[in-house]
Amino acid sequence: MNVRVRFAPSPTGSLHLGNALTAVANRRFADAERGVFLLRIDDTDPSRTVDGGEMAILGDLAWLGVSIDEGPFRQSERGALYAEAAEHALGAGVAQRDSDSSIRLGRDGTTLLRADGTATYQLASVADDLELGITHIIRGNDHRPNLEIQQRIARAVGGVLPEVIHHGLVLGEDGKKLSKRHGHSSIAELRGEGFPPEAVRAYLDELDLPAHDVHLDVARLRRLAIDAIAAMSDEELAAAAEAPMDVVPVLRGARSLVEAREYANLVLEPAPVDLPPEARLTLDRFVELREPAPERLSPDESRAVLRELKAVGGDLRSLRLALTGASTGPELAAVLSTLSRAEVLARVARTVVA
């Protein structure tokens, strides 16, 4: 059997994390079976179509590393196929045309074509799966109620519904379906929060095909984000953080790409600060240690300077404020390794100690 699977979102914008799980599961299944993964856009319902929605989906899939073998196929362009399927059901005597010209299954009254001739979700989905040669449908448990009716529709139009595999849904911490009020619910949100794509993809791969609903584990996502950032090359990290290569050392301890960008800004554009009088001793001692040292310090040399400063009672928080304008941020030794001697001395000189 030549395996063919599909991912069929509505063009409502950025992918919900649960839909992303379905997309990744289908791609992984196709890869394991040396099959084909195709994208179908279920856009028969204008109320669920958002301007730019399809482009957002394509962007999210590319960001996650989910490649598309065929498509996108748009249901809005396949009306003739659905009309033909409905006529087949009429000819087989298992559907009837109502007085308003709509067509529905005779047995249970499920509408196939509306009065205006447009296909319902149920007919369009079945007709597409049959015509596109889908062999396995992998989708969330929320589609379970559709299974029996879709099997009946498939028989009514002269086919057999493909094998269906349902997986659990992604829930919020409160056990309810993940939504915007929970946060972290869409790929766009996760991207905005600075999660690297490798971390999100790894998390979805770990979930695999859950038999039951699962709660979103944000702590695990964050751990994977830290691992993904640590695994990036200097070039990859600089590009992901939109920062120059020479500040990469200060980005290494970041827990997200947003934090990495913040670290870069602290080093590149520190805010001016006013320090209390007691900071003067620390800054003067730092200047004494830094002036005779090389223009650029290695990580070990930077840590040695900080050890000596701390040994004489130096206040490292004051030094951090003088160099970055913030009381927290990247590893201070990394800051010293990143900035030249001239730059750190200039920043200390600009610091106002009142």
What gap in Å lies between CA 183 and CA 271, rounded to an integer? 31
Residues 70-83: pLDDT tens digits?
Answer: 999 999 999 999 99
Domain residues for the domain of 43 are 4-174
d(CA 277, CA 275): 7
Q: CA–CA separation, 251 vs 229, rounded Å? A: 9
Where is the domain boundary, 174, 204, 232?
174
* Total domains in the fold of the chain: 2
| The pLDDT of residue 183 | 59
The CATH number given to whatever domain includes residue 303 is: 1.10.10
Tell me: do 148 and 272 sit in the same domain. no
d(CA 100, CA 38): 36
Q: How confident is the model at residue 179 (pLDDT cuts 50, 70, 90)?
A: low
What pLDDT is attached to residue 42?
Answer: 95
Q: Is residue 207 part of a domain?
A: no
pLDDT in tens, 101-112: 999 998 789 999
Does some domain include residue 128? Answer: yes
Contact (Cβ atoms closer than 8 angstroms) between residue 266 and residue 330: yes
pLDDT digits (tens, 9 = 90+) for 138-164: 999 999 999 999 999 999 999 999 999
Q: pLDDT digits over 289-300, tens only?
A: 999 999 999 999
Output the six-digit token pair for 134.
């889908």
pLDDT confidence tier of residue 239, bands split at 50, 70 and 90: very high
pLDDT reported for residue 173: 80
Give tens-digit pLDDT for 8-67: 999 999 999 999 999 999 999 999 999 999 999 999 888 888 899 999 999 999 999 999
Task: Give 246's pLDDT tier (boundaries 50, 70, 90).
Answer: very high
pLDDT for res 137: 98
**Same domain (yes/no): 161, 268:** no
Residue 34 counted as domain residue? yes
pLDDT for 176 equals: 81
Last residue of a domain, one of 113, 148, 174: 174
**Higher-scoring residue by pLDDT: 190, 48:** 190
Q: Which of 125, 152, 174 is the last residue of a domain?
A: 174
Residue 101, in any domain of the structure: yes
Examine residue 17 and state whether it is found in any structural domain, yes or no: yes
Strands 103-105 and 95-97: what pairing? Answer: antiparallel
Which band of pLDDT confidence, cut at 50, 70 and 90, is reported for residue 211?
very high
